[in-house]
Structure 1
């Protein structure tokens, strides 16, 4: 499925640093900025990195605990939090129904895309990624703060409900792999099963195609133009009239591909459990460079 390819989804998904600075001057507390720094190789380093430098007034969000729950291995490493828990966090962050929420990280939005997707899935209407992430803010010469930050002066009142974006479970992912295009967002060597640093099995969902997230951005960490992204995904076999799903290792970078697909005019369904859930089951695994395996 796709949205109108002639529209400009970037206006609703991305915001430039200079435009964010201007918007905050205009709307004040109605603009909520979330710092979502997380990396697979340094999952606990976010608070220290935040304290070293962050956007003025930004609120640090812990991906592992505030944007994910913890359950059985079959649910994956980052299952979705209960909507009541996410709502409680969102109110602590100061989000109201009419807030503009801007998310960023220090890794080309690979982690903050999870916040973008999850909040939109929960019904927050205006969520955008800072294009270029923290590096883009620095490049624009805009001010930064240091220290642990401060909580908002007031709590928000947003009411959240899941279901505003399409999702897949493992059965749904298998169906999309056979009836449309299921995209694996991980690095190629993990897709092929050559390495697996964290999950119990190496390989990919049979029928899935490899489209690593790193190709969504330019050398400065900014998303490619919608037409370039559209060409990238069409080369992978994505069409406008067939089901489209996306997964990664644990549901984090799948959201980055979901952003890129949305910018390109497609409407992807995310498999939140991703490979971490699939590989903790007795489901079949493919290895090698081809979708069905070598």
Structure 2
């Protein structure tokens, strides 16, 4: 997960068969938008009324599709809507996915339509909040032969508090680019009203001359992941090491921290460690640096230095329950209500590949359950991301786990090789509101470095 990370991440983007596509260019817009009656006079597609939409939600011949940014679907009140989230029962297919330039784009779009039940024989209601996204998707579908297409402006639905909208319970943990930009402009956007000591950081493996020097979000300072998981084993740092890290980088327990990265995994890894240490409020930029650029914002190459502090404010770790240790895994696996979720590739899980160039042991921890990761190698998380590296639809993620008979009401510890992939998956689980979840940080590598721990290979029998 170290030096090979930057090389292989580009190769996996075209392999996603069940992910959704690019959501990046629309930014928050507070200007007034047209009503559905006004849209009807300016669109070639029929507009559905709010009353008819309510009835359509109870009709299996209809599919309701949110065409906005995934951040809006998750819960953020973007484009000036009065309530964030999506219409209950809707699926997501963002208009911005149509703009991505990627190999096999059309086959990936087709798979996304199939996964979400957006079929030509259905009556398809496409909604947005800007009178642009829905019509873009409608045009795309009509060119593919879809005929029964209606559009809708979700502002009318959001303005009626009696109509159900769904937002992920902890949607604030992954932040859209427009909200980060508002923070940089000195504003206090939703969920940041009580935020203090806001810091933006860039996490990546290596020194500043790596991805950080090529461009980062303005004001962000660099965090080398080696500081929270020191080599040569890259296991989670000790309390003493993490305390030194906090003080030299100016972190206190009262901070609000937004973690960004050119890629996603190091950002989530650092974010989970900061929560474990005891930082009050830790978020991650949803989609990473690509989402920032796609929204039209500039990056800077200036080196920003953190301001050291003398006191973190509490003993580290203040939230030890976020990390499950190797000894706790051994003990918990004897409890039938506990599930160790293996977020590695299938080849890693069954012992065909170790997943790492610097670690040879192959297999899985007995009693663990396959929880999906990516399609290629230890740098991939295709099953959990849209192709723009934002979080995938909650229902689709949960379906993956239910297919593996993972009880989502039981205590869950997520693991991978050394904690990077699983940290991202853990955060998504927390975004969705799953409680009693943790990260087995040492992962497969930590398990096999300790002599005598049992190993299984081959396809699971249960």
- Counterpart-to-counterpart distance in 1, 2:308 and 2:368: 45
Contact conserved, 2:222 with 2:304, CA < 8 A, in 1?
A: no
Alpha-carbon distance, 1:10 to partner:
3.7
Runs of 4 or more consecutive aligned structure 1 residues displaced over 6 Å after TM superposition: none
Structure 1 residues 287 and 207, CA gap change in structure 2 (3 angstroms): same
Q: Which residue of 1 aligns with 2:199?
A: 32
SS in 1 for 2:340: strand
Q: CA deviation at 1:237?
A: 2.3
Map 1:92-111 to 2 at 5 A: 92-107=248-263, 109-111=264-266
Residue in structure 1 matched with residue 218 of structure 2 by the alignment: 56
Q: 1:263-278 maps to which residues of 2 (within 5 A)?
A: 263-266=431-434, 267-278=436-447
Q: Distance in 1 between matches of 2:359 and 2:318?
A: 28
Instruction: Give how far 1:46 is off.
Output: 6.3
> Corresponding residue for 2:246?
90
Would you say 1:121 and 2:276 are equivalent positions? Answer: yes
Q: Secondary structure at the match of 2:344?
A: coil
Task: Measure how far apart 1:254 and its partner are.
Answer: 1.6
Count of aligned positions: 274
Q: Deviations over 1:110-148 (max 9, x none)?
A: 12111111111111111001000111111111110115x
Bigger Rg, structure 1 or 2: 2
Going from structure 1 to structure 2, the CA distance change for 1:184 and 1:158 (only over 3 Å counts) comes to same
Q: Give the one of 293, 299, 302 matched to 1:144.
A: 299
Superposed, 1:5-16 pairs within 5 Å as 8-16=168-176
Matched-pair contact (CA < 8 Å) for 1:207–1:291: no
Does the alignment pair 1:81 with 2:237? Answer: yes
Structure 2 match to 1:134: 289
In 1, Cα distance between equivalents of 2:243 and 2:187: 22
Counterpart position of 1:254: 422
TM-score (norm 2): 0.54
Equivalent residue runs for 1:163-202 within 5 Å: 163-164=318-319, 165-177=321-333, 179=336, 180-196=338-354, 197=356, 198-202=358-362
Aligned equivalents of 1:238 and 1:46: distance in 2? 40
CA shift for structure 1 position 30: 2.5
Q: CA deviation at 1:100?
A: 1.4
Matches for 1:190-229 after TM superposition, within 5 Å: 190-196=348-354, 197=356, 198-210=358-370, 211-212=372-373, 213-229=381-397
Structure 1, residues 152-211: CA drift from partner, whole Å, max 9, x if none? 356475334215133323343244445232111122222221122332310111121222
Residue of structure 2 equivalent to 1:283: 453
Separation (CA, whole Å) in 2 of partners of 1:278 and 1:291: 21
Q: Which residue of 2 aligns with 1:67?
A: 228
Given the superposition, is the C-alpha separation of residues 236 and 188 from structure 1 closer, same or farther in structure 2, using an over 3 Å criterion? same
> Structure 1 residues 98, 167: closer, same or farther in 2, change over 3 A?
closer
Q: Deviations over 1:241-290 (max 9, x none)?
A: 42211111112222111112212322322112111111122211111232
**Aligned-residue CA RMSD in angstroms?**
2.6
RCO higher in structure (CA 8 A, sep ≥6): 1
Distance 1:269 1:232 in 2: 19
1:181–1:209 Cα contact (<8 Å) kept: yes
TM-score, structure 1 normalization: 0.83
Structure 2: stretches of 5+ with no match in the other structure: 1-165, 189-195, 374-380
Q: Is the 8 A contact 1:114 1:252 kept in 2?
A: yes
Contact 2:215 2:300 in 1 (8 A): yes
